[in-house]
Amino acid sequence: MRIIFYDSKSYDKQSFDKALRHFSDISIEYMVADLDERTAVYSKEYDAVCAFVNSVIDADVLKILYDNGIRLVLMRCAGFNNVDVNEADRLGITVMRVPGYSPEAVAELAMGLALAAQRRIHKAYIKVRENNFSLQGLTGVTLHGKTAGIVGTGKIGAAMCRICRGFGMKVIAYDKYHNESLDFVEYVELDRLLSESDLISLHCPLDDTTYHLIDERTIDMMKNGVILVNTSRGAIVNTDALIKGIRDMKFHAVGLDVYEEESDYVFENLEDDILQHSITARLLSFPNVIVTSHQGFLTEEALDAISETTLKNAKAFISGDITGENVVK
Ligand code: NAI
């Protein structure tokens, strides 16, 4: 099987080349460009495409892939909100993904963002480097004894629940399905979670039910001084409403690994450029907000698990054994 690999970075190549040693019948051509309507044409003469979180895999792109003979899309990530799943299904293109490659990697970043933003570690780092040893503006809150509200208790949310428990927090959660392994978690309705939590961390997928789940109305329901963390998908939070909430001093701290309109920036070095999106620039201007560049997945262990599972998915497709939660339906 020949795979064309879009949006490849050096760390992708490193982990996939390592994993390829165990898959002699698979080869990969690495492309720097991400998958979209312009670059889909390059898929001719390949058997599968490998895509990532900000690849465009809508009906138009799927049509080009289909015409080029592609019958397998390998998502090297857990989320698949950027794939038109119905259209892929209609065309007979199989879409596979990597669920739960390292839930702890993402949850650890979520807690890292919560801590860094709320204890102002990002400010302290810069201040001390400039010989400014004043503590002015660095006051945080103690998490021990406070309430963590986790939205979505799948693999990553469950890991975040365990981390919060380790910090001595009371953990409440909102999810349609209750995770039986979390016997220390109290499941509540979303309204109650919003109004009782000191730390809210989002771990649900992006779909029609979660698009702008955090908006002006739900922000209004939150406690004053709440800490909000989003490591899930940007569009779960309405950024305009978030910015308004930050300006209204609603939040003690905000940590974002994902945000709306991230796709033009993330994974790229734009240090010589002028940022065109005022939303991103505005978010970056607040002293109590930390933005990272969709790096929740970026640990050595997670990269190894992603490459192994993606190639196993390709192998399963070759042998016709495509069942289970790795297949996107
Ligand atoms: P999962 O599928 O194991 O868990 C998702 C949970 O959300 C499920 O329990 C589901 O019932 C729940 N859920 C669905 N709709 C909901 C709603 N309306 N309200 C509350 N809960 C709802 O997924 P996993 O592996 O925990 O990943 C969660 C998300 O994290 C992914 O969809 C992806 O968007 C994001 N992610 C981000 C990464 C990063 O690098 N920042 C890396 C990997 C995943």
Indicate which CATH number applies to the domain containing 248.
3.40.50.720
Q: Tell me: do 161 and 262 sit in the same domain.
A: yes
Nearest residue (CA) to ligand 1, atom 41: 296
Nearest Cα neighbor of 230 from 197, 206, 263, 254 is: 254
pLDDT 10s digits, 12-24: 999 999 999 999 9
Q: Tell me: do 281 and 307 sit in the same domain.
A: no
Is the pLDDT at 266 greater than 80? The verdict is: no
Is the pLDDT at 277 greater than 80? The verdict is: no
177 lines ligand 1 (CB under 6 A): yes
Query: What average pLDDT does this structure show over 204-232?
Result: 97
Best residue for ligand 1 mutational test, from 82, 106, 189 (most atoms within 8 Å of Cβ):
106
Q: Tell me: do 7 and 81 sit in the same domain.
A: yes
Q: Tell me: do 75 and 223 sit in the same domain.
A: no
Q: How far is the CA of 157 from the centre of ligand 1 (A)?
A: 7
- Stated length of the chain: 329
Amino acid making up residue 3? I
Q: Tell me: do 215 and 230 sit in the same domain.
A: yes
| Chain mean position to CA 318 | 29
CB atoms within 10 A of CB 135: 10
Contact 232, 207 (CB under 8 A): no
Amino acid making up residue 152? G
pLDDT of residue 311: 98
Backbone angles phi, psi at 74, to 5 degrees: -100, 105
Query: What average pLDDT does this structure show over 177-193?
Result: 97
**Range list of β-strands (E), 221-307:** 226-230, 251-256, 289-291
Query: What average pLDDT does this structure show over 149-168?
Result: 98
Q: Tell me: do 169 and 33 sit in the same domain.
A: no
Q: What domain range includes position 195?
A: 103-291
